[in-house]
Structure 1
C-alpha cells in the first residue's frame, strides 16, 4: 500500500469517504481510487494467512458476500467473523448512504488450528455496505490486548486522580483483596463518603467505598 501513494501520505478515509468515494463507484462499475483496493475473498481463510498482524496500516479490500438462504455466511477457515454492532453511515447532509458493521474473528471451539494468532489480541473488521449490493468494502486490522488494556488503565488512572482532588480522598490499593479502599481525610466525613462511591470493575480490580 505504501508504495502506491506519495511519500508522507496515508490512506485513512472516514466512513463517509469509504462509501462515497470507494464502495459506491465499485458497485456502479466505475474506476475506483485508490487503485490498490483489490477484490479478495476474506472468507476464504483466516485473516492471519493473508494479512500481517504487525502491519502499521489496515488492509482495505472489496469482497463479495456469500449468502446462505437469507443470511451471510461468515465462516473463514478454522473460525468465523462475528458481528458485534452496526451503525448507519451518513453524508454531510445527514442522509443515510450505507451501513458499517463491526466484526471480530473468533476461532471455533475445539479448534487447535493457529489459535495462537488470536490469544494475544483480536482481529477486527469494519464492513461497509450499500443497500441491495453483495459487494462490500472491508477494513481489517489486528488490535493487541496490551494496547487496549494500557489505554483503559491510563484513562481510569487519570479519572481517579481528578476524583481525589475534587473530593479530598486518597485511593489506597490493597494486594490481599484486590480492592481499592478510600482513606478519609480531615475534610471528609464517612456519611458523605458512602453516597459518593460505587463499585468500579476493571480487569479484576474492584474499587469500593
Structure 2
C-alpha cells in the first residue's frame, strides 16, 4: 500500500521507495493494539474496510496481476455468522474465504515469548459451498488472543471486534520443464 501526500497543489504524489512490509508481531502489537485502544496514527497505512463486502480482486489496492510480493492490509470488523455464535461470517457476493488449518499462535520476539495474537490462513473460493472453485487469493487474518474464558453468549470485548487482514495473490507452482530448470536439473 503506497502513501500519498499533497505537494504544492492538488496533485497527489506517491512516496518513492516506500514499502509497507510489517512483521506478524508488528501487525499485532502496534497496529491492531492501537486500533483496539482507539489510538489513531498520524498516517493511515492500513485502511478500515469490511472486506467481506467485496471479492478479493475488487478490494482497493488489490492487484489481480499476481505480483507475488504485493499485499493489501485492512482493519476489518469481525462479523459473526450467527447471532449467538463465535463462528465468523466470511461470505462475499461471489464466493467465500475458507480456513486452511488451525489458528497459529504468534509469539513475541522478546524474552518470555508470550502469546501476542493469533494468525489464520484462508483461501478464497468462487461460487457456493456445493461447487466451489479454488482461487489463488490468500488472506492472513490476525486477531488479538482471547483475554478470558467468557461465555460466547456474553457481549464480546473490544479485542475480538477487529482483525487485521493481509490479502494477496500467491504465485502458482511452476510445472514441467520450467520447474526442472528452476531446480537446476
| TM-score when normalising by structure 1 | 0.62
CA shift in 2, pair 1:6/1:49, >3 Å? closer
User: Is the 2:116–2:144 contact (alpha carbons within 8 Å) kept by the matching residues of 1?
Assistant: yes
1:139 to 1:107, Cα distance in 2 relative to 1, 3 A:
same
Unaligned runs of 5+ in 2: 5-13, 146-158
Q: 2-side partners of 1:74 and 1:154: how far apart? A: 38
Higher strand share: 1
C-alpha RMSD of the superposition: 2.9
Contact 1:105 1:122 in 2 (8 A): yes
Task: Flag the structure with more relative contact order, 1 or 2, with Cα contacts below 8 A and sequence separation at least 6.
Answer: 2
Larger-Rg structure:
1
In structure 1, the partner of 2:45 is: 36
**Aligned counterpart, 2:109:** 92
1:138-177 matched pairs, under 5 angstroms: 138-145=165-172, 148-149=173-174, 153=179, 157-158=183-184
Counterpart of 2:88 (choices 51, 72, 91) is 72
1:34: how far off?
Answer: 4.7
How far the C-alpha of 1:149 sits from its partner, in A, is: 2.3
- Residue 20 in structure 1 maps to residue 29 in structure 2: yes
1:149 is paired with a residue whose SS is: coil
Equivalence for 2:73: 60
Q: Secondary structure at the match of 1:76?
A: coil
Contact 2:96 2:128 in 1 (8 A): no
Deviation at residue 11 of structure 1 after TM alignment:
0.5
Q: Contact between 1:37 and 1:62, CA under 8 Å: does it hold in 2?
A: yes
For residues 110-134 of structure 1, give each alpha carbon's deviation from its aligned partner in whole angstroms, at most 9, with x where no partner exists: 999xx9xx77x51000111003412
User: Retained in 2: the 8 A contact 1:41–1:64?
Assistant: yes
In the alignment, the residues of structure 2 paired with residue 62 and residue 13 of structure 1 have an alpha-carbon distance, to the nearest angstrom, of: 14
**Runs of 4+ off more than 4 Å:** 109-112
